[in-house]
Structure 1
């Protein structure tokens, strides 16, 4: 039997480390392996201290009587290192109870020196290595399962089902994770209030990681709670900032946010910007709304209140709220002789030009000309394709559509895209 190298897939001998201070016993083990059918390469250490620097092997044969270790202490010390090597105790001690205790302490097998032959030793090492690999695979599967469950919980908190009664309203949402593929601190929500008005929010916690995702979920939940409690829209952002200041893990963390409150008759909206990008009026010639009341981001220590900007919405309309992951996506091909990023904010550190607002507007307009079915997914696919792979930052999109005088049922869709395999 040989082992497969996990990185190259090549077949190689099983690497065995003998930890025994008795030269005669170590020589006996070498002869037993020579008489077996197991293809091995051998190394030797005479103490636990010496062995701890040589644990990059497939299997460790450990004696329980060493100069710096007696009994199960050696098993416990090696097991505590978290080594991926299998551990087989090979000792002169014949106690059955000690063998059970050794396995409980982390060993894969327990052999007695004067009772072992070449076939038994080879079989024990072979099975121990396979059991260790199986254990590692089981742990990997378990970790993946836990990670998937954590992601699912974050999805429910960050990306809720919009709470909408009005069936004529179209609500299209989407999320494209960036970075390591896990959800970050981007969040959105839509809630229809008792008076028929529609409250919408999209936000982005600065940074990317579990702390930011947890904070984003907290802020999204707090926002919906305030809306359902019928808190006046102009009071929501100050209260949300209090929640953020209390819950953030680092004092420098801040959150950009866009809140839009659409009137019950759908003819006007109040826009609140907290350091966030203004929404886009979606059409075949899409344009960004010109912000006149942009306020600071939540968590920035500046005494500056947020105020509403009134938007007039005539007839039928489509509005798109989004986070800056879309703008920071880059064009796949680097630009030759491009200036440094500090010289030109439209380029990243590799000289690749960013899509920016002009590129995003062009993409949104082009996709809108092909209709509104799966519009969010098509926009995300376009940005993903232009970027050429996983985005650097998360991208969240919320599109609202109103048919005006036209009757009919609005569209509803939700896209959670895996930015590595999706596409």
Structure 2
């Protein structure tokens, strides 16, 4: 017959019934640690061998002393666990008697992060009351207490989630509430807190006598909600705190979204207004242009262009590119375009105009390293000839019936504006003919990839091939520019990174 080895009791002088011992063993640890199995065996070397089918006691998990007990109890709720530990090959199968053995264990939902509440309360007992109310709900809320606004500013750190403000606090600059209530702003203390804590949620705490009057007014001024002091309880206060925090987050996100939309609309109106309107009244030339800035969500980049017909009938067309990307470059491009139009209408052209335009750039640029390239074409009143000036810019592309598209000669290309103080820009005269198309562009159009898998630039020659292909297909004007840009983006494998401006003048 197997001998049971008793476990030493935690409190030997107190006897308890087996049922009580069983409950303590199942749900709580004994007051003192019981001897380990090996220690028990050493203490009783003459004990008979244990029953191989019984589960030996193990430390704190040993069964309480029971003179009628051998091994595990049949009704022991932890019996199966001990069997599994004793037999590593034991495999549990669902059964009608134990349907929960096959049920998946539900994962415990993570506890909400503790909130930090800043209580601004003149009453020294107010903090204890609020802490006691919150503690009664059993969920963690850290409470900081400030007796006045000066102390509140010191305790107001980024980890504070919500402010509970007593509206009966003295107004800023006062040590006690004014006896003449009509002579002061009743919400002055709230307005002060909203100024020093614009990013924090605020709950207004008011007394029951004026809650219906001051509470809604506090919300109108900027508090997330108001509470009545006499009606506080743990559940209401905790829910109000979390509601105020979430409402503040929502209000802040909505305000930022509205501000972002307004800025985008203002920028869109501004940038559209800064794009040029060609002055071609009375001219037989047809004009088309495409513009795409490289900056994300921008309407205007550092590229610029313009077209003006002067009183003598000549048409002057210009396209340029300020080096760099960003609002400073975009602003400088607008200034150069406006200056070019004013100088052209004043009668300047060629080298004289570009020399003056360089002075404008030198005075308006934000860095001495900023420069701009430019191409200017002056078309004679009859439309059959033109003069071309290049300032570090790619040459125009001309096409005539039966000739296809080719680049204009650019051996006389001058330096970019802003590089050399005494630079000169020679003018090249050329014959256009009766019918022609002239395309001016910025380098963003030719710096994309050529699509052959080698990662090489498209270049002027590759761009000319694309235009020839579309001209052979019968395209002209706006459709020609649209399809050319679409194919350049397709060859590049996506959007182009640089600003792109392309304009087209056609005759005949």
Give the TM-score of the pair, scaled to structure 2: 0.61
Aligned position for 1:402: 507
Aligned position for 2:465: 362
Q: CA deviation at 1:188?
A: 0.6
Aligned position for 1:260: 377
Q: 2:271 aligns with which of 139, 144, 154?
A: 154
Aligned position for 1:376: 481
Q: 1:18 aligns with which of 117, 132, 152?
A: 117
Q: CA deviation at 1:256?
A: 0.9
**Is the Cα–Cα contact under 8 Å of residues 281 and 289 in structure 1 kept in the other structure?**
yes
CA-atom RMSD in angstroms: 3.6
Aligned position for 1:62: 164
Matched, 1:274 2:374: no
Aligned position for 2:408: 289
Matched, 1:243 2:360: yes
Matched, 1:111 2:227: yes
Q: CA deviation at 1:209?
A: 1.5
**Is the Cα–Cα contact under 8 Å of residues 154 and 217 in structure 1 kept in the other structure?**
no
Q: CA deviation at 1:119?
A: 4.6
**Is the Cα–Cα contact under 8 Å of residues 94 and 112 in structure 1 kept in the other structure?**
no
Instruction: Specify whether residues 17 and 288 from structure 1 end up closer, same or farther in structure 2 by C-alpha distance, changes over 3 A only.
Output: farther
Instruction: Say which structure is richer in strand.
Output: 1
Per-residue Cα deviation, 1:23-73 (whole angstroms, up to 9, x for no partner): 652342364697xxxxxx856556766652326xxx5243568xxxx9656
**2-structure distance, mates of 1:360, 1:31:** 76
Instruction: Specify whether residues 49 and 244 from structure 1 end up closer, same or farther in structure 2 by C-alpha distance, changes over 3 A only.
Output: same
Matched, 1:164 2:164: no
Aligned position for 1:406: none
**2-structure distance, mates of 1:258, 1:366:** 25
**1-structure distance, mates of 2:453, 2:264:** 35
Give the TM-score of the pair, scaled to structure 1: 0.72
- Higher mean C-alpha displacement, 288-297 vs 379-388: 379-388
Q: 2:427 aligns with which of 296, 308, 316?
A: 308
Aligned position for 1:173: 289
Matched, 1:192 2:294: no
- Higher mean C-alpha displacement, 136-145 vs 255-264: 136-145
Matched, 1:215 2:314: no
**1-structure distance, mates of 2:114, 2:457:** 50
**1-structure distance, mates of 2:208, 2:413:** 77
SS at match of 1:172: strand
Q: CA deviation at 1:207?
A: 1.4
**Is the Cα–Cα contact under 8 Å of residues 45 and 51 in structure 1 kept in the other structure?**
no
Structure 1 gap segments, 5+ residues each: 1-11, 35-40, 336-351, 404-423
Aligned position for 2:15: none
- Higher mean C-alpha displacement, 22-31 vs 170-179: 22-31
Q: 1:87 aligns with which of 191, 194, 202?
A: 202
Query: Larger radius of gyration, structure 1 or 2?
Result: 2
Instruction: Specify whether residues 62 and 252 from structure 1 end up closer, same or farther in structure 2 by C-alpha distance, changes over 3 A only.
Output: farther
Instruction: Specify whether residues 330 and 228 from structure 1 end up closer, same or farther in structure 2 by C-alpha distance, changes over 3 A only.
Output: same
**Is the Cα–Cα contact under 8 Å of residues 280 and 321 in structure 1 kept in the other structure?**
yes
Aligned position for 1:204: 321
- Higher mean C-alpha displacement, 98-107 vs 20-29: 98-107
Aligned position for 1:341: none
**2-structure distance, mates of 1:179, 1:236:** 30
Instruction: Specify whether residues 313 and 192 from structure 1 end up closer, same or farther in structure 2 by C-alpha distance, changes over 3 A only.
Output: same
**2-structure distance, mates of 1:29, 1:99:** 22
Aligned position for 2:55: none
Q: CA deviation at 1:215?
A: 1.3
**Is the Cα–Cα contact under 8 Å of residues 185 and 212 in structure 1 kept in the other structure?**
yes
Per-residue Cα deviation, 1:323-353 (whole angstroms, up to 9, x for no partner): 1111222357965xxxxxxxxxxxxxxxx43
* Corresponding pairs, count: 359
Structure 1 residue ranges (4+ consecutive) displaced by more than 6 angstroms after TM superposition: 12-15, 91-102
**1-structure distance, mates of 2:326, 2:133:** 53
Structure 2 gap segments, 5+ residues each: 1-110, 121-126, 146-151, 170-174, 176-188
**Is the Cα–Cα contact under 8 Å of residues 185 and 213 in structure 1 kept in the other structure?**
yes
SS at match of 2:263: helix
Per-residue Cα deviation, 1:219-238 (whole angstroms, up to 9, x for no partner): 11111111112224432111
**Is the Cα–Cα contact under 8 Å of residues 172 and 399 in structure 1 kept in the other structure?**
yes
Aligned position for 1:321: 440
Instruction: Specify whether residues 53 and 362 from structure 1 end up closer, same or farther in structure 2 by C-alpha distance, changes over 3 A only.
Output: same
**1-structure distance, mates of 2:450, 2:209:** 69
Instruction: Specify whether residues 327 and 27 from structure 1 end up closer, same or farther in structure 2 by C-alpha distance, changes over 3 A only.
Output: farther
Identify the structure with bigger relative contact order (alpha carbons < 8 Å, sequence gap 6+): 1
